[in-house]
Amino acid sequence: MKLRSETIFFIGIILVSAVIIVGAVVSSSSGSNKEVPADLLIKGDSPVKGTQDSRVVLVEFGDFQCPACKAAAPVLKRIEEEYEGRIRLVFRHFPLPVHGNAQIAAQAAEAAGEQGKFWEFHDILYGRQDVWVHSSDPKRLFEDYAREIGLDMGKFKEDLDSGKVKDKVERDVRDGKSVGIDSTPTVFLNGEKFVGVPSYEDLKAKIDRLLN
Amino acid sequence: MSFVLANRVIFILAIIGLAVSGYLFYTYVFNSPIVCVNTGCETVRVSPYSHFFGVPLPFFGGLMYLGIFIFSFTATFVAENFVKKIEYAIFFLSGVGVAVSIYLTYLEIFVIRAICVWCLAQAFVILTIFMLISCRLWKTKHEA
């Protein structure tokens, strides 16, 4: 059977399209995997757990309203406990605009941090995520949580909306964007990027290699 | 516009539609890491409207574009009187596609309240195919 010229032309279109699509797929999957500079990842006033001078640093960019961050929390906690004294865990805020209560939650956690109880508040926020995410008045719930962990309520309320706390969260988001974050949780292990909920085994293997 | 030219444009649009649906289907099925992403597409993807009886919507979109792709390609080598039938088939398929796309875009704007640019791109493609084929059919009817 002899093909008509139009049919041959269409086959040509198919081939050209295939080349373009394959090219696009290849170029998008070969992203650069370079290490991120530490000064962008770690700030002196960021909430931190562990030893200040440890060689291994885990930095999490998290959003308290993100279910995936909630899932990552126990993994990071387990790692932090297991390597206590040998690693440092840093929390950076990355509240996503799609999460309506995430920004105020970040501010509340920082306000608790002003009284040295960031991590206690952090645990409550993830633990009770289902409760406060749908609340139209999350501040009231956060005040309850603050009372529960024994914070000075006057100071907490004041800090919650303070410029200092807002600036800190904003700076974290800015830093996050400049290191190319577009989703949470994103974890950096000594500058190496992990997107999504990190697996315990994966982190453990990499940390062991870094420590030895 | 002659049928040959219209069919070429429709064929290329069908390939674009196939690529978009294929990409979305892939992200729905395989590439769904447990993350929160700051995009409208993610919000749409996790909404209850993104699947129909458990099947990701891009699958149906892909089927539609595959149908148009095959019809459009077939039209290059079949007899003249058969081309008319193909035109109607493309008209029907893309008409359904436009109706569904209008409904889904309405859902995105007013119910899910998030816009996915890929969905919109797809809606634009199917609307263009529908308008092209409608013009063709309208013209041939009036020429006859």
Residues A169/A106, Cβ–Cβ less than 8 Å:
yes
Mean pLDDT computed over A187-208: 90
Give me the DSSP letters along chain B: --HHHHHHHHHHHHHHHHHHHHHHHHHHHT---S-EE-SHHHHHHHSGGGEETTEEHHHHHHHHHHHHHHHHHHTTTS-HHHHHHHHHHHHHHHHHHHHHHHHHHHIIIIII----HHHHHHHHHHHHHHHHHHHHHHHHHHH-
Chain B CB contacts of A13 below 8 Å? 8, 11-12, 15
Q: Which of A7, A10, A103 to substitute to test the interface with B, most B CBs within 10 Å?
A: A10
What confidence category does residue A183 fall into, taking pLDDT thresholds of 50, 70 and 90?
confident
Question: Cα angle vertex A174, ends B45, A71, to 5°?
Answer: 45
User: How far is A162 from A107, CA to CA, in rounded Å?
Assistant: 9
What confidence category does residue A75 fall into, taking pLDDT thresholds of 50, 70 and 90?
very high
DSSP 3-state helix, strand, coil percentages of chain A (rounded to 5)? 55, 15, 30
Mean pLDDT computed over A43-66: 91
User: How far is B119 from B24, CA to CA, in rounded Å?
Assistant: 9
Beta bridge partners of A89: A49, A58
Give me the pLDDT at residue A31, please. 47
Cross-chain Cβ contact B34/A68 below 8 Å: yes
What confidence category does residue A34 fall into, taking pLDDT thresholds of 50, 70 and 90?
low
CA distance B35 to chain A (A): 5
Per-residue burial over B87-122, b if 16 or more Cβ lie within 10 Å, else e, is: bebbbebbeebbebbeebbebbeeebebebebbeeb
Nearest by CB to residue A196, choosing from B33, B73, B76, is: B33
Per-residue burial over A152-180, b if 16 or more Cβ lie within 10 Å, else e, is: eeeebbebbebeebeebbeebbebbeebe
Surface of A (89-118) touching B: CB under 8 A: 96-99
User: How far is A170 from A27, CA to CA, in rounded Å?
Assistant: 32
Q: Which of B36, B72, B76, B118 to substitute to test the interface with A, most A CBs within 10 Å?
A: B36
pLDDT digits (tens, 9 = 90+) for B7-41: 999 999 999 999 999 988 987 887 555 677 766 77
User: How far is A31 from A16, CA to CA, in rounded Å?
Assistant: 24
User: How far is B88 from A195, CA to CA, in rounded Å?
Assistant: 47
For the entire predicted model, the pTM comes to 0.66
Give me the pLDDT at residue A194, please. 86
Q: Sort A21 into a burial class: Cβ within 10 Å, 0-12 / 13-18 / 19+.
A: middle
Give me the pLDDT at residue B31, please. 54
CB pairs below 8 Å between A and B: how many? 65
A1 pLDDT exceeds 60? no
Does the interface ipTM go beyond 0.85?
no
What confidence category does residue A19 fall into, taking pLDDT thresholds of 50, 70 and 90?
very high
pLDDT tens, chain B, 144 aa long? 788 899 999 999 999 999 999 988 987 887 555 677 766 777 788 788 888 988 999 999 999 999 999 999 999 999 888 998 999 999 999 999 999 999 999 999 998 888 888 899 999 999 999 999 999 899 888 876
What confidence category does residue A180 fall into, taking pLDDT thresholds of 50, 70 and 90?
confident
pLDDT digits (tens, 9 = 90+) for A50-60: 888 888 999 99
First to last CA, chain B: 16
User: How far is A56 from B89, CA to CA, in rounded Å?
Assistant: 63
User: What is the average pLDDT value for chain A, to the nearest integer?
Assistant: 90
